[in-house]
Each structure stands twice: as structure tokens, then as C-alpha cells.
């Protein structure tokens, strides 16, 4: 029988932590972003919606293999 890895629950916690911290950062910046032109806001929020995904690839690799690179 395969023993469950402790890396998966820790990884899930870290993913949720990354999402929470990124949401706080974006929400904190929103008063300044809200003063910009609507199209600039759309670009900033689109980029902010994608950037938080970048640290997930190495984190998911670590969760599966125990190494930070696949």
C-alpha cells in the first residue's frame, strides 16, 4: 500500500496562502488602480489574475515528486 505524502496537504495549504496573499495585495492596490483609465485597469487586473499562477508550477512539481523541478 502506498503511504500518503505529507507534501500534498502542505502544498494545498501553500496554494491557498499564495491566493490569499495575492488577493490582499491586489485589494490593497485597488484604490490606486481604480483611479486609472478603465482600459488600463482591465490590463492590470488581467495581469494580476495571471501572475499568481506562476509559482504554482514548481509547487505542484514539488508536491508530486519532492523536487522543485520536474
3 Cβ neighbours under 8 A, 6+ residues apart: none
Q: Which residues contact 60 (CB under 8 A, 6 or more apart)?
A: 11
Structural domain range at position 19: 7-65
Predicted confidence at residue 55, as pLDDT, reads 87
Give the model's pLDDT for residue 1: 66
- 23 domain residue, yes or no: yes
> Is there a domain that residue 2 lies in?
no
* pLDDT tens readout for residues 1-56: 667 688 999 999 999 999 999 999 999 999 999 999 999 999 999 999 999 898 89
DSSP for 19-35, please give it: HHHHHHHHHHHHHHHTT
Domain total of the chain:
1
Give a yes or no: residue 70 inside a domain. no
Q: Is residue 20 part of a domain?
A: yes
Domain annotation covers residue 45: yes
Predicted confidence at residue 24, as pLDDT, reads: 96
Residue 1 lies in a domain: no
Amino acid at each position: 500500500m502506498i503511504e500518503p505524502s505529507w507534501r500534498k496537504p502542505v502544498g494545498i495549504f501553500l496554494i491557498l496562502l499564495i491566493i490569499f496573499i495575492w488577493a490582499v495585495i491586489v485589494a490593497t492596490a485597488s484604490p490606486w488602480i481604480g483611479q486609472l483609465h478603465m482600459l488600463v485597469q482591465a490590463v492590470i487586473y488581467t495581469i494580476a489574475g495571471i501572475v499568481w499562477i506562476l509559482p504554482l508550477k514548481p509547487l505542484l512539481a514539488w508536491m508530486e515528486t519532492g523536487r522543485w523541478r520536474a
